[in-house]
């Protein structure tokens, strides 16, 4: 008898008999070989995500190297870089530049508005108030995206509540002056870039608050006190103590605000001008124009931008703040 077999006998259960039947055999197998169980558990999700999602991403990449026949409107399934070349037409570059600028501005504004809320929630809110703050951020985050946009259509409409409020305050001239400006202005707020910007900030703001709050929760309160004990003004404390410690959280939040703005096509379509953003270009290319290759190539742009962005964020330690 080999040594191995003797070992097995020695370690075999002394009291319990081996379980019988298929169920018992399976159960025993999983206990003896945890790797089999692990494999069985991982297989369905990995297969699903691998085939449906990663597979689709590859299909997208493949499509971006195809081109459309301009006469027949059919897709020519042969490798070409022509579609990527089309991206560099002035009109398309314009769209990319406009979207990236908007994403950067939205990110900046979200960070400014998010910071006081996150700081208050992290440092001063306790007990019941803390829960209230948490719900106050989670409810707008999770409530219906389209309804939120719709609410802003109601607010920003020419006959809407904002105009009414400004008229009551005798401040209508401010609005008119702003709307008469080039680029940011327009007929009314709901058909201007200003409107698009406000709605973007509104819809993505909770995504900024949560990581900033998480980062600020980790700052010990006595650090701030020490700073003021040593004679720093509140402004100096903010610049030299709070802001550097909150920065990873802000960068983490900016991943969401930046990436979501880059890819959104519904907000600028409902509240905004007729000038396109990347998302709208993708949508109209695949829909009415039937040019899936160009739509695919357009989608690669935010992927590449986000790739660089994530790489930079990782170097700043933003992922620890997520």
Partner 1 sequence: MRSDGSQSAPLGLKIAAACGLLFLHLPILLIFVYAFTTEEKSFVWPPPGLTTQWFAVTWNRPDVWQALSLSVRVAAISTAIALILGTLCSAAVSRTRFFGRETISLLVILPIALPGIITGIALRSAFSLADIPFSFWTIVLGHATFCVVVVYNNAVARFRRTSGSMIEASMDLGADGFQTFRHVVLPNIATALLAGGMLAFALSFDEVIVTTFTAGQQQTLPIWMLEELIRPRQRPVTNVVAMVVMLVTLLPILAAYYLSRDGDQIAGSGK
Q: Which of 68, 95, 96, 149 binds partner 1 (CB under 8 A)?
A: 149
Smallest gap from residue 241 Cβ to partner 1 (A): 15
Residue 291 CA to residue 287 CA, distance in Å, equals 8
Q: Which of 55, 73, 244, 312 binds partner 1 (CB under 8 A)?
A: 55
Cβ proximity to partner 1: between 6 and 158 the closer is 158
49 binds partner 1 (CB under 8 A): yes
Q: Which of 80, 89, 101, 143 binds partner 1 (CB under 8 A)?
A: 143
Q: How many whole angstroms from its chain centre is CA 84? A: 25
Binding segment toward partner 1, per CB under 8 A, in 4-12, 85-93, 152-160, 172-180: 152-160
234 binds partner 1 (CB under 8 A): yes
- 3-state SS of the chain? CCHHHHHHHHHCCCCCCCCCHHHHHHHHHHHHCHHHHHHHHHHHHHHHHHHHHHHHHHHHHHHHCCEECCCCCCEECCCCCHHHHHHCCHHHHHHHHHHHHHHHHHHHHHHHHHHHHHHHHHHCCCCHHHHHHHHHHHHHHHCCHHHHHHHHHHHHCCCCHHHHHHHHCCCHHHHHHHHCCCCCCCCCHHHCHHHHHHHHHHHHHHHHHHHHHHHHHCCCHHHHHHHHHCCCCHHHHHHHHHHHHHHHHHHHHHHHHHHHHHHCCHHHHHCCCCCCCHHHHHHHHHCCCCCHHHHHHHHHHHHHHHHHHHHHHHHCCHHHHC
Smallest gap from residue 28 Cβ to partner 1 (A): 8
241 binds partner 1 (CB under 8 A): no
Do 269 and 153 form a contact (C-beta atoms < 8 A)? no
Do 5 and 12 form a contact (C-beta atoms < 8 A)? no
Binding segment toward partner 1, per CB under 8 A, in 86-94, 171-179, 203-211, 240-248: 203-211
Q: Which of 56, 80, 233, 240 binds partner 1 (CB under 8 A)?
A: 56
Residues 6+ away with beta carbon under 8 Å from 206: 137, 138, 140, 141
Binding segment toward partner 1, per CB under 8 A, in 55-63, 86-94, 177-185, 243-251: 55-63
Phi, psi of 67 (to 5 degrees): -140, 165
Token output for 199: 């709605």
Binding segment toward partner 1, per CB under 8 A, in 78-86, 88-96, 118-126, 173-181: 118-126
Smallest gap from residue 80 Cβ to partner 1 (A): 16
Q: Which of 82, 153, 166, 273 binds partner 1 (CB under 8 A)?
A: 153
Q: Which of 85, 221, 244, 312 binds partner 1 (CB under 8 A)?
A: 221
222 binds partner 1 (CB under 8 A): yes
Size, binding site for partner 1 by CB under 8 A: 101
Q: How many whole angstroms from its chain centre is CA 282? A: 18
41 binds partner 1 (CB under 8 A): yes
Subset of residues 66 to 85 that bind partner 1, contact rule: CB under 8 A: 75
288 binds partner 1 (CB under 8 A): no
189 binds partner 1 (CB under 8 A): no
Binding segment toward partner 1, per CB under 8 A, in 78-86, 87-95, 146-154, 177-185: 146-154
Do 312 and 255 form a contact (C-beta atoms < 8 A)? no
Q: Which of 111, 219, 251, 262 binds partner 1 (CB under 8 A)?
A: 262
176 binds partner 1 (CB under 8 A): no
Smallest gap from residue 182 Cβ to partner 1 (A): 26
137 binds partner 1 (CB under 8 A): yes
């Amino acid at each position: 008898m080999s040594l191995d077999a003797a070992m097995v006998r020695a370690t075999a259960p002394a009291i319990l008999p081996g379980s019988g039947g298929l169920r018992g055999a399976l159960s025993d197998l999983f206990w003896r070989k945890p790797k089999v169980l692990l494999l069985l558990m991982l297989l369905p999700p990995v297969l699903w995500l691998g085939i449906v999602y990663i597979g689709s991403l590859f299909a997208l990449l493949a499509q971006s190297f195809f081109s459309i026949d301009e006469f027949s409107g059919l897709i020519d399934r042969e490798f070409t870089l022509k579609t990527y070349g089309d991206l560099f037409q002035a009109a398309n570059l314009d769209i990319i530049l406009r979207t990236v600028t908007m994403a950067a501005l939205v990110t900046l504004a979200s960070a400014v508005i998010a910071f006081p809320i996150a700081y208050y929630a992290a440092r001063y809110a306790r007990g019941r108030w803390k829960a209230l703050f948490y719900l106050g951020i989670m409810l707008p985050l999770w409530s219906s995206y389209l309804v939120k946009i719709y609410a802003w259509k109601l607010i920003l409409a020419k006959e809407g509540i904002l105009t009414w409020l400004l008229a009551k305050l005798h401040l209508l001239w401010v609005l008119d002056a702003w709307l008469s400006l080039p680029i940011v202005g327009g007929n009314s707020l709901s058909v201007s870039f200003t409107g698009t910007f406000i709605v973007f900030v509104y819809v993505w703001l909770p995504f900024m608050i949560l990581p900033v709050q998480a980062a600020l929760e980790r700052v010990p309160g006595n650090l701030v006190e020490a700073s003021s004990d040593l004679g720093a003004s509140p402004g100096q404390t903010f610049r030299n103590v709070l802001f550097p410690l909150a920065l990873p959280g802000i960068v983490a939040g900016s991943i969401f605000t930046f990436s979501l703005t880059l890819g959104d096509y519904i907000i600028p379509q409902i509240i905004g001008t007729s000038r396109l953003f990347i998302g709208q270009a993708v949508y109209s290319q695949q829909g009415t124009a039937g040019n899936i290759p160009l739509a695919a190539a357009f989608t690669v742009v935010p992927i590449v931008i986000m790739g660089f962005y994530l790489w930079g964020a990782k170097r700043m330690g933003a992922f620890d703040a997520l």
